[in-house]
Amino acid sequence: MKEVNDETCECLATYHGKKSFIGRTIEEIFKFIEAAFIAESYSRRKGLLQSLDPRVKLISIMTIIFATVLVTNLKILTSVYVFLVLIAYISKIEVSYFIKRVWLFIPIFSAIIALPMIFNIFFPGDPLIQLIYLGPGAHLGPFSLPESVYITKQGVYAASIFIMRVATCVSAIVLLFLTTPQQMLFKAIRSVGVPRIYVLTLGMAYRYIFLLIDLVREMYIAKKARTIRSRNMFEEQKWVGGRIGYTLIRSLDMSEKVHMAMLSRGFTGDVKTMEEFKMRKRDYITGAASIALSIVLVATSQNIFR
């Protein structure tokens, strides 16, 4: 047996309390799995949205999103967002979890995209806060600049509308995913006319992403169990590259076997579940109310109601 190397190295899985990039990646994978299971648990709670027919829920939320995209009034957008937060609370979803899940990534990226809009260089308007005085005749290469660079009222308002619109639409989508089991959601998408090839691709991708993540976890644990000597960063990256290729080959082999097994069991391309959709009185009321709300939102925003 080779002699064990006791020297410390930066490529260790844990070095001076810090994890290597492989360890951090595996940890993020576990967090993803944990978040997915937590989200799945919300769909089994007895809340308002969980009690509705998935088809009605899908159409209602899509209708509200369509109306939200057309709304150009910040107060109305804020009201719709508060309404969605209230719906989340009634649907037994922790408000703090819901807000964090919505505002963690997409609205922040939207804020970064909308940031140039608040400056008078890109969006002229009334001064709100003056930043720099450049003087008359200022240039940046071939581009002429204004005398002063300042934040405009109109730019801040337009950026706020853009960010709130994105946050509201994302909130509606998150509500749909949190309150609907994945297989029922895919079946509802298929029932409203989406081609089955797209629905089938989404469903299979969602199921087998967890299998592939579990495969990656097993490979990492097996590597750690066999490792008695630390390796440098180049060897670690080489191992990761080899495992990526192996995972791709394994996924292709798995897809062929699964497809053949599905065909042998009578698979015809349609998504089938044990539960059947059944419309009730509250489903019709919810569908009509959401459509009416969407019409009111668009009409109010376009000043049709005076």
Coil, helix or strand at residue 148: strand
Can you give the pLDDT at residue 6? 42
pLDDT tens per residue across span 113-157: 888 888 887 778 888 887 877 777 777 777 777 777 888 888 888
Kindly indicate the confidence band of residue 256, based on its pLDDT and cuts at 50, 70 and 90: confident
Can you give the pLDDT at residue 34? 65
pLDDT tens per residue across span 86-115: 999 999 888 888 888 888 767 777 888 888
Integer CA distances (angstroms), 36 to 29, 172, 262, 300, in order: 11, 18, 25, 38
Other C-beta atoms closer than 10 Å to the C-beta of 263 total 10
d(CA 237, CA 280): 56
Distance of CA 136 to the CA centre of its chain: 46
d(CA 89, CA 301): 26
The residues near 304 (Cβ < 8 Å, ≥ 6 apart) are none
Can you give the pLDDT at residue 84? 92
d(CA 298, CA 179): 26
The residues near 18 (Cβ < 8 Å, ≥ 6 apart) are none
Residue whose tokens read 């990256």? 237
d(CA 249, CA 263): 22
Can you give the pLDDT at residue 86? 93
Can you give the pLDDT at residue 16? 46
Can you give the pLDDT at residue 13? 45
**Token pair of 4 as six digits:** 């064990």
DSSP labels, 244-291: HHHHHHHHHHHHHHHHHHHHHTT--S----SS-----HHHHHHHHHHH
pLDDT tens per residue across span 69-91: 888 888 889 999 999 999 999 99
pLDDT tens per residue across span 165-188: 988 998 998 888 888 888 888 888
Instruction: Please give, one letter per residue, the 3-state secondary structure of 55-120.
Output: HHHHHHHHHHHHHHHHCCCHHHHHHHHHHHHHHHHHCCCCHHHHHHHHHCCHHHHHHHHHHHHHEC
Closest CA to 102 of 196, 39, 169, 180: 169
d(CA 22, CA 16): 16
pLDDT tens per residue across span 10-48: 444 444 445 566 666 666 666 666 666 666 788 888 888
pLDDT tens per residue across span 197-229: 888 888 888 778 778 877 887 888 888 777 777
- Contact predicate 124/136, CB 8 Å: no
Q: Tell which wins on pLDDT, 275 or 199.
A: 199
The residues near 85 (Cβ < 8 Å, ≥ 6 apart) are 95, 98, 99, 171
Can you give the pLDDT at residue 108? 76
d(CA 306, CA 288): 24
Can you give the pLDDT at residue 30? 67
Q: What is the pLDDT averaged over residues 42-60?
A: 87
**Token pair of 163 as six digits:** 């960010």
Can you give the pLDDT at residue 306? 57
